[in-house]
Amino acid sequence: MRGIHVSADISTNDICTIDGVIKNYGNFRALHGINLTVKEGEFVALVGPSGSGKSTLLQVISGFEAATEGTLIIDGEDMTGVAPADRPTSMVFQKLALFPHKTIAENIGFPLKLRKVPKAEIERRTLDMIALMQLKPEYLTRYPAQLSGGEQQRVALARSMISHPKLLLLDEPLSALDVKLKKVLQAELKRLHRSLGVTFIHVTHDLEEAMMLADHICVMKDGLLLQLGTPDDIYYRPTHKFVAEFIGETNLFPVSVENNGYVATDMAGIQGHSSFGPEVAVHPQAYLMVRPEFVHMVGAGEELDVTLGVIVSETFNRGSTTQVKAVTKDGGHLMTLEIQGHIDAQIIVGAEIRVGWRDEDTHLFDRTTDTFQAAS
C-alpha cells in the first residue's frame, strides 16, 4: 500500500445501509440505485462534481427527501417514512443555518430544548460543547452575526452534535470559507471525528478535502456511485477513468493492449511490458494512466520499464515539488511530471530530457467504457 493512511478504530457494526436507492424528480433520475454501507465510527466522504447526486443522497439519508425506490437503514431501523426530526441523524448545513434571533447558547441547546431535557443539563452539555469546539464561554450570550465565519462553523457543529446523533451529515459546510480557515476547520473536523467516535458522512466537491479527512471516499457522477474505497484506492487504484481524472493530475495515453504488453497506438517510443499479468485482456483500445509523481527523470544509461525522450515545455515551481510539462518528440502528446524538490538548472523550456516509469505504477482503462481493465 502506497502512502500511510491512519484511520480511526472502526467497529464492524453497520450504522447506515443504503440499498438500491433511486431518486426521481419528475422525469429526471438523480440517483440510479445507490448501494452503500457505512460502518459505525467511519468518516465517509461523498465526492463528485455538481449534479452528481451527492447532495441528493445526503438529503435522502437526512430524511428531507424521500427515496423513490430502495431502502435506507440507520442503526438497524428502516427509515422509510421517518421524519428528519425523528432520525438519529444530524445535519450541518452548507449555509450553517444558525438561528439569527437566538443566542449562541440557545442555538446550541435548541435540540435538547426540543427534547425537553432539563435546563440544568442543557446548560452543562452546552458548556461541554463550547469547550469541545474551543469556543469562548463569553460567546454564549452573543448572537451568530457577532461571530466570525469560523466561529459560526463551530457553533453549527456544536448544535449538530449536542444531541449525540448516530450519524453526522455534513453538507459542504466548509465550501464557503477562505482557504486558510478551511484548512484549520478540516483539521478540527478530523480531531472531532477521532475524539467523538461519531460516524460522519461528509459531502464535498473538494477532493483534496475528502482525501485528507475520510476513511472511505465515494466518488459519484450522474447519480451513479463510481467507486467506493480508501483514499489510497481512489488515488492509486481508480476503477474508472473519471475517478482518475477527477482526483489529482494524471497522464492518460491511448494505448493498445497486446499479448503480455501494451504499445502506444499513436505515440512513438512507448512500449511497455504488462505487469498486470494474463488477466489483462488483449484490448485494442485502452488508456494507460500514470500519475505525474511516477513519471521519473531518467539519467543517461539508465532504463525503466518505459523510457522515452521528451522536450520540456513548461516548469512550475510548487515549493516542495516541481511540476514539469513536457511534449513527446513527435509533438503528439503532452505529459506532466512531478519532481520532488528543485530541478537541475539545465532543465529549462526546450531542453530534451529522458523520462520513464515502472509498469507497476501504471493503470489501464478500457477506452470505450472508461472502466478499469483488470481486477488486480
> Min. distance of Cβ 163 from another protein in angstroms?
7
Binding piece for another protein, criterion CB under 8 A, among 50-58, 77-85, 221-229, 346-354: 77-85
Spatial separation of the C-alpha atoms in residues 22 and 60, rounded to whole Å: 10
Binding another protein (rule: CB under 8 A), the pick from 85, 300, 345, 375 is 85
Give the per-residue contact string, 120-159, with another protein (x = CB under 8 A; - = no).
----------------------xx-xx------------x
- Cβ neighbours of residue 187 under 8 Å, at least 6 residues apart? none
Is residue 26 close enough to count as binding another protein by CB under 8 A?
no
DSSP string covering 257-322: EETTEEEESS-TT-EEE--S-TTSPPEEEEEEEE-GGG-EE--TT---SEEEEEEEEEEEE-SSEE
Is residue 115 close enough to count as binding another protein by CB under 8 A?
yes
Binding another protein (rule: CB under 8 A), the pick from 114, 184, 268, 348 is 114
Is residue 99 close enough to count as binding another protein by CB under 8 A?
yes
Is residue 296 close enough to count as binding another protein by CB under 8 A?
no
Closer to another protein by Cβ: residue 10 or 177: 177
Spatial separation of the C-alpha atoms in residues 32 and 52, rounded to whole Å: 11
Closer to another protein by Cβ: residue 161 or 304: 161
Closest C-alpha among 327, 326, 324 to residue 316: 324
Contact 292, 302 (CB under 8 A): no
Spatial separation of the C-alpha atoms in residues 11 and 304, rounded to whole Å: 43
Cβ atoms within 10 A of the Cβ of 219, count? 27
Spatial separation of the C-alpha atoms in residues 321 and 315, rounded to whole Å: 11
Cβ atoms within 10 A of the Cβ of 241, count? 21
> Min. distance of Cβ 112 from another protein in angstroms?
9
Binding another protein (rule: CB under 8 A), the pick from 91, 161, 214, 264 is 91
Is residue 62 close enough to count as binding another protein by CB under 8 A?
yes
Sign, CA dihedral 340-341-344-345, equals positive
Contact 56, 23 (CB under 8 A): yes
Hey, what's the cell of 169?
451529515
Is residue 100 close enough to count as binding another protein by CB under 8 A?
yes
Binding another protein (rule: CB under 8 A), the pick from 8, 39, 68, 84 is 84
Is residue 163 close enough to count as binding another protein by CB under 8 A?
yes
Question: Residue 205: phi, psi to the nearest 5?
Answer: -100, 0
Closer to another protein by Cβ: residue 141 or 260: 141
Contact 295, 333 (CB under 8 A): no
Whole-angstrom CA distances from 272 to 90, 308, 356, 370, 374 are 51, 11, 10, 21, 17
Closer to another protein by Cβ: residue 86 or 303: 86
Closer to another protein by Cβ: residue 67 or 168: 168
Binding another protein (rule: CB under 8 A), the pick from 14, 29, 93, 359 is 93
> Min. distance of Cβ 154 from another protein in angstroms?
16
> Min. distance of Cβ 111 from another protein in angstroms?
4
Is residue 317 close enough to count as binding another protein by CB under 8 A?
no
Is residue 97 close enough to count as binding another protein by CB under 8 A?
yes
Contact 333, 204 (CB under 8 A): no
Closer to another protein by Cβ: residue 54 or 367: 54
Sign, CA dihedral 74-76-79-82, equals negative
Binding another protein (rule: CB under 8 A), the pick from 12, 26, 50, 101 is 101
Is residue 66 close enough to count as binding another protein by CB under 8 A?
no
Closer to another protein by Cβ: residue 99 or 316: 99
Residue ranges in the chain assigned as alpha helix (H): 54-62, 104-114, 119-132, 149-161, 179-196, 207-213, 231-236, 241-246
> Min. distance of Cβ 327 from another protein in angstroms?
49
Binding another protein (rule: CB under 8 A), the pick from 56, 90, 251, 336 is 90
Q: Which residues are near another protein by CB under 8 A?
A: 62, 64, 83-86, 89-91, 93-95, 97-101, 110-111, 114-115, 142-143, 145-146, 159-160, 163
